[in-house]
Amino acid sequence: MRRLGLQSLAMAFAVWLSAFPPAQAQTQAQSQVQDWPARPVRIIIPLGAGGGGDVFARLLAEELRKRLGQPFVVENRTGGALNIGMRACAESPPDGYTFCITSSEPIVYNQFLFKTLPFNPETDFEPITNLFFNPVAVVANAGLKIGTLDEMMALAKAKPGTLSYSTFSFPLVAFMDKMNKKHGVDIIHVPYRSGNEVVNGVVSGTTPIAILGLSNMLAQVRAGAIVGIALNANSRSPLFPDIPTLQEASGEDFPPAWFGLFAPKGTPKPIIEKLHSEVVRIASDSDFRQKNFIERAIDYAINTPDEFAKFIVKDRASAGRIVSESGKQPQ
């Protein structure tokens, strides 16, 4: 009996001890985050080079390099409505050496637009932080000689089937579909893969109307090569106070476009926390915020991983409603 009692006590002690991680494991975890990054880190962006999101990713990567002592290499993986790049991110080892920066479309819209996706936007990623809201502008080539949405629609009526616009943002395609139906016109959508391509199209007149993040077109708007028609934002831009909001111009608005930072699911939490804290420090720097948020016409949106995850759930619900109301069927 005494032996059985001692055995029971030993077993109970072993169970109690197993509830606590071994000191060696704790030391390894601490070493892992202290040593990270020990080699170059990859940041996948599912958009082409030269657009607003790509430019911000490279600016952020350079600051991370300075602070953490390893290169942060931006890799553009384009195509497939941003699905190709996000698949590459989702399928990367969750070891803290691959992250991705993306716009909202593949995270909250694409599951409603495609019958199947090569990744699960709800379970394959660790949200780290929203980075910025990207006020989206409706613009026109200056040669069209229009300055308002009403003038755009009047021109489309006068020259049916001859006007085209470019964007790669589904909510704004839905907006233009609604405007086409409302005004009885047919402004044709021409899809592009990057913000840089959209800007080149509207400046050259190949696609004389564009809907794109204002940050992509600051120089061209200032130079008068393209004209701001409306801005999908809560308020007018202090850089261009004469451009009305989309709500003012049309009575319509859509959830704001955003860019966020993600990791493959399973990336160690201590590494995510370390990266998040560094991003917060960088984005909170007054010079960085002035040059890379305010002067580039994008809105600071840094938050915590939990806050970002909750925001995504709400934005995904809005995306589902917008797609449903548009009548768009999954491809």
Domains located in the chain, CATH noted: 33-133+257-326 (3.40.190.150), 136-250 (3.40.190.10)
Residue 84 phi, psi dihedral angles, 5° rounding: -65, -50
Instruction: Determine the Cα–Cα distance for residues 300 and 284; give it in Å rounded to an integer.
Output: 9
- Sheet of 164-167: strand order equals 188-191, 164-167, 209-213, 136-141, 226-232
Pairing label, strands 164-167, 72-76: unpaired
Q: Which of 226, 201, 210 is nearest to 145 (CA)?
A: 226
Contact of 323 with 113, CB cutoff 8 Å: yes
Q: What is the pLDDT of residues 178-215, one digit of tens each?
A: 999 999 999 999 988 778 889 999 999 999 999 999 99
In the predicted model, is pLDDT for residue 304 greater than 90? yes
pLDDT of residue 255: 83
Q: Percent of the chain, pLDDT > 90?
A: 76
Kindly state the tokens that stand for 103: 């716009």
Q: Which range in 20-29, 91-100, 171-180 is most confidently predicted, on average pLDDT?
A: 91-100
How many Å apart are CA 251 and CA 126, to the nearest integer? 36
- Counting every residue written for the chain, the total comes to 331
- 305-319 pLDDT, tens digit each: 999 999 999 999 999
Q: Report the run of H or E that residue 138 belongs to, with start and end.
A: strand 136-141
Look up residue 185 and give its two tokens.
């016109």
Assign 34 a pLDDT band (cuts: 50, 70, 90). confident
Instruction: Provide mean pLDDT across the span 10-37.
Output: 59
Q: Which of 107-121, 216-230, 244-258 has the lowest mean pLDDT?
A: 244-258
Residues of the chain above pLDDT 70, percent: 90
Q: Per-residue confidence at 231, pLDDT binned at 50, 70, 90?
A: very high
Query: Is the pLDDT reported for residue 61 higher than 90?
Result: yes
pLDDT at 150 over 70: yes
